[in-house]
Amino acid sequence: METIEQKMNEYFNWLKQSYKYKEMDSSTEITTPFRNHLNDYIRIYADMLPNNEIRLSDDGLTFNELEMFGIDVNTKTRDRLIPVSYTHLRAHETV
């Protein structure tokens, strides 16, 4: 019987092989093997910043789709959660 670790390794190998990268003018387009609610592959854009940081973006697609479905993304809760999430991510980054 295969161990969980072996299954995880298989999954991570599949995941690594399934990502596609495309160099663009000012960023790298990363196409994930995952699909959204419209069955389109999820794409992320990575931009190298002058201070050697990387900015990840979906080019506003998520917020646009939420607004199309009538979800208000401009709430006090969202304004409070975004800085907290950013601070949490910064606290766990590796140098």
71 band by pLDDT with thresholds 50, 70 and 90? confident
Host H or E run for residue 77: helix 76-91
Task: State residue 85's pLDDT score.
Answer: 62
Query: The tokens of 16 are what?
Result: 């690594």
Which whole number is the average pLDDT over 2-12?
A: 92
